[in-house]
Amino acid sequence: MYGAVDPVYMLMLIKRLGPDYIVWDREATIRFLRPGRAALHARFRVTDEELAAVRAALPAPGDRTDRHWAVELVDGEGEVHAVVKKAIYIRRK
């Protein structure tokens, strides 16, 4: 389950922040709540407000921060099977 969601937030942030930022996966945890015996899906969101907050936190070259996001792996009935929490390192070039 983790492999399905691992790089998504990092790739989204690389694309949305653009070439003035370095983005790395810093750490992740997964909490398994029930077996994933059916097809699962996840919804990834990085809002414009979150991007604005990242940019505001990194006004000068070399500034860096860690940001955290969580995503749920959900079946067709809406039951959560796992929760993945990601810490993403972001640095202004």
Mean pLDDT of 63-79: 97
pLDDT band at 31 (very low <50, low <70, confident <90, very high): very high
For residue 66, the SS3 value is strand
6-24: average pLDDT? 97
pLDDT band at 82; cut points 50, 70, 90: very high
Judge whether 61 and 46 are in contact, CB under 8 Å.
no
Return the pLDDT at 34: 96
Indicate the pLDDT class of residue 29, thresholds 50, 70 and 90. very high
Q: What does pLDDT average to over the chain? A: 96
Question: Which is nearest to 83 in space by CA: 64, 68, 67, 66?
Answer: 68
